[in-house]
Amino acid sequence: MPPDTIDPRIWAAGFEATFLRKLQGHSPLDAGEREVLRGLVGRLERIGPRAVVVEDGAAPAAAAVLIEGFACRFKLLPDGRRQILSFHLAGDGIDLQSLLLGTADHGIAAVTDCLIAWLPHNALRAAARAHERIADALWRETLTDAAIARQWLLNVGQRDAYSRLAHLFCELGVRAGAAGLGRSTGFEMPATQVDLGDATGLTPVHINRTLQRLRGDRLIAQRGTALTILDWPRLAGAAGFDPAYLRLRAA
């Protein structure tokens, strides 16, 4: 059960407004199924920026759901190079595949302050067994995750720096909009230029110069960690962005 340091009404509302909302974006759930899922929430955890939520190679006994904040998944090379595999917003199940795979093949880290809800594997498995639509929703969530990884592979493998960054911002915009966190043309983008480099397979130096071009071309603007997309059609055009892979209803 959630620690008494966090008001249950707060996290229940957050869980409903983020994770359940996200699942229902692609899979229907009735009130009973939602109640079952709410009942799964075990420990809640607040972690600070850059903290590692799940260590690469670990075998967690619970799946992490992001309730607040901005996080990323990553893989590390022995020499310290890091590839960010995905960014995550409130509502994302960031660890669901650990339910079946056991050990993690990548790490998960907070980018900002985050609130994590842990759903114990055994309870989650029981819920999936008992409710077919819960199993479907979870499976679909991991499949969407895989679809994003494939899209990133295309991004990193084939597009130049300019389109790569443009594509990343389009994705984050659409996802933020769908998650109810700001508009798709204006949202929080707290990743540093180093993070962006690790996500796109580019050097921070090159990210910096490419960002300057995107700003100079009046496609985006940044104020602190707030990113504004000034010209969505042209940015999406430069990115070759098609949101279909995100599997969102109203996209």
Partner DNA sequence: CGCCCATTTGAAAAATTTCAAACGTAGTGG
Partner DNA sequence: CCACTACGTTTGAAATTTTTCAAATGGGCG
Residues that bind DNA (CB under 7 A): 160-162, 192-194, 201-206, 208-209, 211-212, 224
User: Which stretch of DSSP H or E encloses residue 227?
Assistant: strand 226-229
Closer of 147 and 181 to a second copy (Cβ): 147
Strand ordering across the sheet containing 226-229: 186-188, 226-229, 220-223
- In the bound state with a second copy, the residue whose beta carbon lies nearer, of 15 and 152, is 152
Residues 171-200 that bind a second copy (CB under 8 A): 198, 200
Query: What whole-number distance in Å separates Cα of residue 11 and Cα of residue 87?
Result: 22
Closer of 140 and 206 to DNA (Cβ) = 206
Closer residue to DNA (CB): 42 or 190: 190
Task: Examine residue 250 and tell whether it contacts a second copy (CB under 8 A).
Answer: no
User: How many residues are present in the chain?
Assistant: 251
What are the b/e assignments for 47-86, b being 16+ CB within 10 Å? beeebebbeeebebebbbbbbbbbbbbbeeeeeeebbbbb
Name which of 97, 101, 107, 98 is nearest 146 in CA terms. Answer: 97
Piece in contact with a second copy (CB under 8 A), picked from 36-44, 131-139, 177-185, 206-214 = 131-139
Is residue 32 involved in binding a second copy (CB under 8 A)?
no
By beta-carbon proximity to DNA, the closer residue of 129 and 209 is 209
Measured from the CB atom, the residue of 4 and 79 that comes closer to DNA is: 79
Q: How far is CA 172 from CA 8, 84, 88, 160, 246, in A?
A: 29, 14, 9, 18, 11
Residues 93 and 140 sit within 8 Å (Cβ to Cβ): no
135 binds, among DNA, a second copy, none (CB under 5 to 8 A by kind): a second copy
The only residue of 9, 50, 157, 233 in contact with a second copy, by rule CB under 8 A: 157
User: Does the protein bind a second copy through residue 162 (CB under 8 A)?
Assistant: no
206 binds, among DNA, a second copy, none (CB under 5 to 8 A by kind): DNA
Judged by beta carbon distances under 5 to 8 A according to partner kind, the member of a second copy, DNA, none in contact with residue 245 is a second copy
Q: Which of 4, 32, 78, 233 binds a second copy (CB under 8 A)?
A: 78
Residue 52: beta bridge partners?
Answer: 109
The answer to whether 103 contacts a second copy (rule: CB under 8 A) is yes
Helices 161-178 and 193-200, interaxial angle, to 10°?
100
188 forms beta bridges with 226
Cβ contact 229:153 at 8 Å? no
Question: Residue numbers of the site for a second copy (CB under 8 A)?
Answer: 57, 75, 77-78, 81-83, 85, 97, 100-101, 103, 105-106, 129, 132, 135-136, 139-140, 142-147, 149-154, 156-159, 198, 200-201, 240, 244-245, 247
